[in-house]
Amino acid sequence: MSDPQPLPFSATDAGSAFGRASRSAADGREIALPLDPRTPARSRAFAQRVLATSERPISRDVVDNALIVVAELVTASYLRRASRVRVAIELRERDLTVTIRDDRPDDRHDERRRDRPGDRPVPASMHDTREMLLDALTVERRVFTEGGETVHVARLLVSAG
C-alpha cells in the first residue's frame, strides 16, 4: 500500500494554535489518513520521515517522544470513532509542534456514548494513563474544535533555552 499524499494545510492549522504560522503541505509535513488499526503505525512512520529529513539534527529522545505523542493522539482519535485523521509536524528552532485533526463526533456531553454501536470501549484508567504520558512528554497541549474537527496540538521542546 502506498503512502497517502499530503493534503493542503491552511495557515489556521497547527501553528496558529500557539500563535505562529504553520508550514504548508508542500514541504511534506502533513498527511491525511483514514483511521483503522494500522493508522497509529503509519502516522509514526510519517513523523519519523519528517524528522529524519530535517535540515538540522534532532536528538533521539526528542524523536522518540514525538513518535509516542503522534501515536497516542492518533490512537485516541481511533478509539473515539473518528474516521479520518490529519497529522502535521512543525519543527522550529526550539520546539516541535504535533497537530492531529480528526472528524470524531462531539459527544463529550452524551452520557450514553458508550452504549452506541461502533464505540470502541476504553477503560478510564487507559485514558488517564494516556493523558499522564502526553503531559510528561509535552510542554504544552491544547484540544479544541474548529470547523467540525477536533484538533489536538502538542508542543515538545527540541532544545533548552
What confidence tens digit (pLDDT) does each residue in 94-153 have? 999 999 999 987 655 444 344 445 556 666 666 788 889 999 999 999 999 999 899 999
Q: What are phi and psi of 139, to 5 degrees?
A: -100, -15
Q: Bridge partners of 30?
A: 88
CATH superfamily name and code, 14-157: Histidine kinase-like ATPase, C-terminal domain (3.30.565.10)
The answer to whether residues 72 and 133 touch, using CB atoms and an 8 Å cutoff, is: yes
Distance (Å, whole) CA 110 – CA 133:
26
Which of these, 69, 96, 78, lies nearest to 34 by C-alpha position?
78
3-state secondary structure of 118: coil
Structure pTM?
A: 0.74
Task: Look at residue 25 in the predicted model and tell me its pLDDT.
Answer: 46
Give the percent of the chain with pLDDT over 70.
68
Task: Tell me the three cell numbers of residue 123.
Answer: 477503560
Task: Tell me the three cell numbers of residue 32.
Answer: 491525511
